[in-house]
Amino acid sequence: MTRKILEVASLTKVFGGLCAVENVSFDVDEGSITALIGPNGAGKTTMFNLITNVYQRSDGDVLFCDESICDLPANKIAGLGLVRTFQSARVFPGMTTLENVLTGAHLHMLAHPAQQMLWLPKATREERDLVAKADALLDLVNLLAFRDVAATDLPMGAQKLLEVVRALMAQPKLLLLDEPAAGLNDSETEEFAALICAVRNNGISVMVVEHNMSLVMGVADKVLVLDAGRLIAQGTPGDVQNNARVVEAYIGQEFSPQDGD
């Protein structure tokens, strides 16, 4: 039996009068790719914000590796191995692409700031190894040519990829991706799908919000469908595609939009 890495139990979030997430429960299996889909405004991003405690929950609980993380500050949650990206790519302005990626490794720096200050060989070596690792990752997503460019000067799609790479540098156990493929063209999206699979095969569980159905249906082991804050279906991609409620939720929208938003 596979272990559950994330368990969400009757999670609820009310904004003023609006119930953005209503009594939602689901699990994420260790080593799987879980997709969270739903029409615009369904509450997907809010769900991520609740899991990472960016928003205070109204009710419910979130367990990560069997531990409640609802009341931990965001940086502690990241420290436990749950790292997320943001829907509006939040690369750090004023830093180059490479520096952005290196920032992701913050949790795993062995050298103490005092050792860095003194230019000790240990710190210098660690820094050099990190740069090599970051370069390799940037190469993987074809961003190596831009390593010394201001990250905010990259096109949107590249910024989102950069954010994913930055999150990977944090060596998460579970990676939450909010619309990572928005802004990528078809061939780039395919490459990205391969990247997500590679990440999963390296033992990192992934939960991804995505509007691109071919991407979702291609890579996900399990799909969760959110509509107006409620979880209306979950199951394998096949199950969900044939679910009447899901089709209904998407009525008025094209069922397989090729690109989000």
Partner 1 sequence: MNEAIQIAIGGVLLGSIYAMLALGFSLVYRITGVINLSQGAFCVLAALTMYSLNVTFGMPLFFAALAAIAFTTAIGILIGAFTFVPGMTRLSNSNILMLTLGLLTMINGVMLLIWGSQPYSLPPFSGEAPVVLFGIRVPTQGLWIVGTTLVLILCLWLILFRTNLGKALRACAENPAAARLMGIDVKRMTLLSFGMSALIGAIGGVVVCPIISIEFVTGQEFTISGFIAVTIGGLQSFGGAILGGLALGVLTQMTAGYVSSMFSNGLALGLLLIMLLWRPNGLFAPALRKREDVREAARVQVGIVRLQGRQGWILAAIALLIAILVPHIVSYGMLSSLVITGILFLAVIGLDVLMGWAGQINLGQAGFMAIGGYSAAILVTRYDWTPIPSTLFGMALSLLCAIVLSLVVMRLRGLYLALATLAFGLMIDSMTVGLTEFTGGPSGIVGIPSFAIGSYVFATPTQMYYFVLALIVTIVLLLIGAMRSSFGRALQAVRTDQMAAAALGINVPVHKMAAFAISALLGSLSGSLYAFFFHYLSPEMVGSVRSFELVAMLIIGGEGTLVGSVLGVALLTLLPTIFQPLAAFKTFAEGVLLVFSFLYMPQGLFGTAVIRFNRWTHQAASRITPSVSAVNRGSV
Ligand X SMILES: Nc1ncnc2c1ncn2[C@@H]1O[C@H](COP(=O)(O)OP(=O)(O)OP(=O)(O)O)[C@@H](O)[C@H]1O
Apex CA 220: angle with CA 13 and CA 22, to 5°? 15
CB of 134 vs ligand X, minimal distance in Å: 29
- Residues 37-76 vs ligand X: string with x where CB under 6 A? -x-xxxxxxx------------------------------
Tell me which stretch binds partner 1 (CB under 8 A): 62-70, 71-79, 193-201, 238-246: 71-79
- Name the token pair of 55: 């928003």
Residues 6 or more apart in contact with residue 45 via CB below 8 angstroms: 87, 178, 209
91: left (phi over 0), alpha (psi -120 to 50) or beta: beta
Q: Minimal distance in Å, beta carbon 41 to Mg ion?
A: 8
Interface with partner 1 includes 260 (CB under 8 A)? Answer: no
Q: Which of residues 83-112 bind partner 1 (CB under 8 A)?
A: 83-84, 86, 88, 90-96, 99, 102-107, 109, 111
Residues composing the chain: 261
The kind and range of the H/E element at 162 are helix 156-169
Least Cβ distance, residue 227 to ligand X (angstroms): 9
Helix (H, G, I), strand (E, B) or coil at 192: helix
- CB closer to ligand X, 101 vs 208: 208
Task: Write out the DSSP string of 67-89.
Answer: EE-TTS-HHHHHHHTEEE--SS-
Query: Which span sits near Mg ion by CB under 5 A: 67-75, 76-84, 85-93, 94-102?
Result: 85-93
User: What are the two backbone dihedrals, phi and then psi, of residue 129, each rounded to the nearest 5 degrees?
Assistant: -60, -40
Site string for Mg ion, 51-70 (x = CB under 5 A): --------------------
Nearer to ligand X, 53 or 97 (CB): 53
What's the CA gap between 134 and 165, in Å, rounded? 8
**DSSP symbol at 190:** H
With beta carbons less than 8 A apart as the criterion, state whether 212 and 181 touch.
Answer: yes
CB of 226 to ligand X, least distance (A): 7
> Collapsing DSSP states into helix, strand and coil, what is residue 246?
helix
Q: How far is the CB of 181 from partner 1 (least distance, A)?
A: 19
- Cβ at position 254, least distance to partner 1 in Å: 27
Chain residues that interact with partner 1, rule: CB under 8 A: 45, 49, 52, 54-55, 73-75, 78-79, 83-84, 86, 88, 90-96, 99, 102-107, 109, 111, 113, 116-119, 123, 127, 145-150, 152-155, 166-167, 170
List interacting residues with Mg ion (CB under 5 A).
45, 87
